[in-house]
Amino acid sequence: MKRLSRGTIITIFVVLMVVIDQVIKILIKTNMTLGQSIHVFGDWFQLFFIENNGMAFGMQFGGVIGKAILSIVRIILVVLIFIYIKKLLKKQDTPMGVLIGLAAIMCGAFGNIIDSLFYGICFSESTFTELATIFPENGGYAGFLFGKVVDMFYFPIIDTTWPTWMPFVGGQEFVFFRPIFNWADSCVSVGTIYLIIFHWKFFQTSLSTEKTDNHSIE
């Protein structure tokens, strides 16, 4: 049996991650109302449906103009990573782990790009009382580039209150982990952490080699 090339493996990986991300989001958006939660494992793992206009983990970024800029920046990032992966694939000594880590970041960014580009066109608006529908007769809730990103994974592993004797935060609620995120966010985070922990030497060596080559050309 013919062995799959590294390029084919990376392609399959990216397609699989993006499909998983979109299937989860579509199921959540068409079966849950905003703010609805489903307890998967007790209180500490919930599917909690929210949408955001901004960055990963529900962070916001600059209103309408910021949303457009963020979408464009994501597209540029995906293109640059794609070009870099193609470059690394030509080098036989590139570790497979480096390619997988970069691919995870790329497909994570791409997954959220899909939301921004098409969800506003393809879905009716999700509300706290009504489910969204796909391809509504009256059109979607927003234009191209302005769709909202669907988030759903919530892990409030610790949900308590700060002791009253603590300054500034005493008596206030403390939740860890508070951000609600999606599969695409996970791909970006896991890919980044994996590369930093296990492959930082590769990028350090690559950077040093490029500097040396540039000096030689000069």
And the tokens for 167?
Answer: 């300054």
- 43 is a catalytic site residue: no
First and final C-alpha spacing in the chain = 48
And the tokens for 190?
Answer: 């896991």
Of 21, 43, 93, 151, which one is the catalytic site residue?
A: 151
Vertex 160, ends 156 and 161: CA angle to 5°? 140
- 21 is a catalytic site residue: no
Of 21, 43, 185, 213, which one is the catalytic site residue?
A: 185
CA distances to 69, 79, 113, 148, 211 from 76, rounded to whole Å, are 11, 5, 11, 19, 24
Cα pseudo-dihedral 30, 35, 36, 37, rounded to 10: 120
What positions carry a catalytic annotation? 151, 185
